[in-house]
Homo-oligomer: A and B are copies of this chain.
């Protein structure tokens, strides 16, 4: 008998009514806003600033992943279940999946095996509508911009060539990256260049993720930079009187969503994925909610630590005035083989030479953890194809670096396979983790901040700017938007901006191709190499292999 699919495991779970999960957290049923029986929104009054300062925050990050991902969410869910097993009151606070990857190549983002979030299908589809609300708020501003261009009577005199605000869609759709809108004559808008990003890359998503309350959200929406007038005055969303209507569209999206793990432990999902092209962490509000409701909060930062953790620590910790108490790096042996040069068909099988060759990638991420002031813990997300020899190699090498590597067996055993890791996390959170320090200060120059990330985190020699990037950088300074954190857009597959450079590359430069910037959310986005903020579908999209029968039973969704 083969191991069941994620969906089969999720569907056969003994799912509890969400009010039972809420009870465990001390949330009164009447305060819940249900979305079906197994999902609910939690009102913001459950955030307790004092309590939230005492709880421990555990950040789960990873090495540079294979295309299938390293199982950060799976480890996070399993770790949450493991903490429960050792008697701790914990909660997982994670990100909501995007529809793009669900129908593209990666599939869902609700964990896997016996460490999953349920209801899995709902979580991977529309969930509680947050992404849709973000998309609508983003695109309402776009419609109001183009309506103002068309409208001679109340014109703000916006120069259409200067508009930087893009529309978004939660879809992998490369054909929308570069488009021309407003064709068709007098009644059909002003012709201009435009493009769609994927919804998680929307500044509205970032604003939702970085706002401390509803008022802050509305103010940040008003601060969104749109473009210039013909006489070079900056135009913001508030000049278009858009921020209230946008905030109205987000009135429910701002509330965190409660779900459960397969083992009936609580989990909050709220805010955006895509740490390669966006800030890629869950909302500050959700993390604070978790810290208010439990003693341990397990959270994750997307893709490798060079993207997710770096942004978590420099952007989210800055705006949320928070810091992690423990720092877990997820590695799989198959990904280390891949980092060591193994190709598809090779990296799935035991191979110590490839592993040794790829270990540098993990070593670099461990070193980076120390730089930020943590004592990292390595979680080896266990696969059946891992050889004992390979496991022992990692444990030994990590020990040489002063780090404990622990086998994480959540995929086949759930929380029971995670108690050792849970114990170590608790120990680290108690004894270390008070030395967190960012690698740059927001007051530093933009170039210095980018340089710091490139050299300290990626290991680059230097940073190159295209002419376009240089021009955009001047705009950023002119507008006075430079004193904010950096949010790199970079491939997740490599420590460099070139996805083919694996392991621990040295002697490389990174190239800032162009800049976007988020004046409302409060960060600058250098776009490196050829990364796109709107993904494409693969040759055979996952959508093609999905099936639903007349009773609603689904197969092929993973």
Contacts and interface: CB of A to CB of B under 8 A. Distances in A.
A328 interface: no
B188 A177 contact: yes
A312 interface: no
A531 to B, nearest CB: 12
Given A151-B539, A178-B183, A143 B173 contact: yes
Given A34-B37, A183-B180, A543 B129 contact: no
Contacts of A36: 33-35
A539 B37 contact: no
B174 A187 contact: yes
B154 A249 contact: no
Contacts of A548: 214, 218, 244, 247-248, 251
B33 A171 contact: no
A546 interface: yes
Interface stretch (A51-59, A70-78, A398-406, A549-557): A549-557
B184 A188 contact: no
Contacts of A352: none
Interface stretch (A133-141, A436-444, A481-489): A133-141
A175 interface: yes
Given A248-B548, A548-B244, A189 B171 contact: no
Given A139-B169, A140-B103, A539 B132 contact: no
A446 B307 CA distance: 58
A147 B133 CA distance: 26
A261 interface: no
Given A147-B536, A153-B539, A539-B154, A546 B183 contact: no
A259 to B, nearest CB: 15
Given A129-B132, A133-B126, A244-B546, A175 B189 contact: yes
A421 to B, nearest CB: 35
Contact of A175 (B146, B546, B552, B556): B146
Interface in A144-162: 144, 146-147, 149-151, 153-154
Contacts of A179: 179-183, 194
Interface in A99-150: 99, 103, 125-126, 129, 132-133, 136, 139-140, 142-144, 146-147, 149-150
Contact of A144 (B170, B177, B543): B543
Interface centre among A33, A140, A245, A530 (most CB of B within 10 A): A245
Contacts of A554: 248, 251
Interface of A: 33-37, 99, 103, 125-126, 129, 132-133, 136, 139-140, 142-144, 146-147, 149-151, 153-154, 169-184, 187-190, 194, 213-215, 218, 240-242, 244-245, 247-249, 251-252, 530, 532, 536-537, 539-541, 543-548, 550-552, 554, 556-557
Given A244-B543, A251-B552, 14 more contacts: A34-B36, A136-B170, A143-B173, A146-B173, A146-B174, A150-B174, A174-B189, A189-B536, A214-B548, A241-B545, A242-B544, A244-B546, A244-B556, A248-B546
Which 5 residue pairs spanning A and B have beta carbons closest together? A175-B189, A178-B184, A34-B34, A245-B543, A132-B132
6 contacts: A34-B37, A99-B136, A144-B543, A151-B539, A178-B182, A189-B536
